[in-house]
Structure 1
Amino acid sequence: LAGEAEAIEAESFIIDGETITVNEAGLSDFQALQSAVTRRKPSRDLYLVAFDLLHLNGHDLRNMPVEDRRQILQELIPAVGRIQVSKAMPGTGDAVYHLVDRAGLEGMVSKRKDSVYRSGPTMNWRKIKCYAEKEMDIIGVQREAGKPAMVLMADKGRYAGGAFVAFKADKRQRLWDRVQGKVGGPVPIGLKKEKAEWLKPGLVGRVRFLKGEERLRHAKLLDYREE
């Protein structure tokens, strides 16, 4: 990526973008990206998706409309290579969101066409995330003083990750009462987590989580029941 950036025909530039790696379906894979950046050997599967241009050859472009900045960016980046310009999708926000959601992607970003670039919170651009809900087995809990409580989930026998518990005090206490009666379950192979309590089978939770990954991300426990 650094080599391709060096080959761009410009004296200086600041590009806004995101490094990704893709799975077999050609979709961005966050978990694979985490693995790629921690390998000892350099990965050949990384791409930089460029979506904005802030400075070029000493000129500040941030007061230009995003459409104009992206047009200059499109002309700056070669048509082929590992640095690629993200393509805007035409249509209404709800129609594009429907396609993104059906594809199982994490979400979409929307920007006003005439907006200038400003750091910090703004209503000129929004990130809309796609979530799913599913029932999974609660196989463990993590409760540490000063940290949010989490339940550890398994989906069809496979560890799926953790989900935050944000219940009100009375409902949370009822959950802990049920958990207490199931403490002492087997530690899943390869999942020896410090300060985790592993549970016997029988407790099921409904979880809301971010789409697009095998493991739970931004997950929240919505409800629970005992089988």
Structure 2
Amino acid sequence: MRTSAFEPCIPTRATKVPTSHSWLHEIKHDGYRLIVRSDGKRVRLFTRSGFDWSDRYPLITEAALRIGRPRLSWMVRPFCWMLMESQNFDGLHSSRKHNDEVQLYAFDILVTHGDDLRRLPLTMRKTNLARLLARRVDGIFISDFERGEIGPELFRHACLMGLEGLVSKLDDQPYQPGRPPNWVKINNPASSCRG
């Protein structure tokens, strides 16, 4: 069944990493993006197309329940660590035999305690997310970021490590659904990334 309260923000493809100090850079992990919604008693996981995948990833659902905050929505990317701790999209996508091992990287928060945070600048949303996850919950990681001029070097190292690439975001922008110019992805040319 398709349903979701939020239209996703989808990164715009770019060929060059922004270098201004106002850009934040995150490793683009290979996998799906989900919106996690919690009412404190129940957690639901939605794909960007609005499909409910709550039953597909039990570790993520259980981890989000342990946070125990009411009326919460955040953006995450599930990932499956496989051999030698490298990411494995095929392990995530093509077989459900690893679904109970899938964990997530949280990279944005949209609602907390019923307060809509989408109009806040990205830096304030990330601060709220860090507060929410200050006590690490097994199965949930915060997506680290770097600021500004280091972007091209970070991208180079992501490519050397065989990762999918980078996502760069303007730090003072609100959450915008669709494909805004303030959220760009730069893919590793050697990666078999899917989006």
State the TM-score bracket (shorter-chain normalisation): 0.5 to 0.7
Aligned to 1:18: 77
Please name the residue that 1:65 is paired with.
121
TM-score (normalizing by structure 2): 0.63
Structure with bigger strand share is 1
Which residue of the partner structure matches residue 86 of structure 1? 143
Aligned residue for 1:140?
none
Tell which has more relative contact order, 1 or 2 (C-alpha 8 A, sep 6+): 2
Say how many residue pairs are matched.
Answer: 133
Correspondence list, 1:1-227, <5 A = 1-36=60-95, 38-39=96-97, 43-77=99-133, 78-90=135-147, 91-132=149-190, 211=191
Percent identical: 28
Shift in CA distance, 80/4, structure 1 to aligned 2, threshold 3 Å: closer
Counterpart amino acid of 2:123?
A: E
Question: Any stretches of 5+ residues in structure 1 without a counterpart?
Answer: 133-210, 219-227
CA distance in structure 2 between the partners assigned to 1:80 and 1:57 by the alignment: 19
> Contact 1:9/1:76 (CA < 8 Å) preserved in 2?
no
Residue by residue over 1:72-113, the C-alpha shift from the partner in whole angstroms, topping out at 9 and shown as x without a partner, is 111112324101111113442211111111111111101111
- Separation in 2 of the partners of 1:47 and 1:4? 9
Please tell me whether the aligned partners of residues 17 and 52 of structure 1 are also in contact (alpha carbons under 8 angstroms).
Answer: yes
In structure 1, distance between residues paired with 2:132 and 2:114: 15
CA separation in 2, counterparts of 1:6 and 1:94? 37
2-side partners of 1:63 and 1:21: how far apart? 32
Q: SS in structure 1 opposite 2:177?
A: coil
Tell me the TM-score normalized by structure 1: 0.54
Classify the secondary structure of the residue corresponding to 1:96. helix
Secondary structure at the counterpart of residue 114 of structure 1: coil
1:11-44 superposed Cα distances (whole Å, 9 cap, x missing partner): 11111011110122323210111244x23xx644
**Distance in structure 2 (CA, Å) of the matches to 1:111 and 1:217:** 19
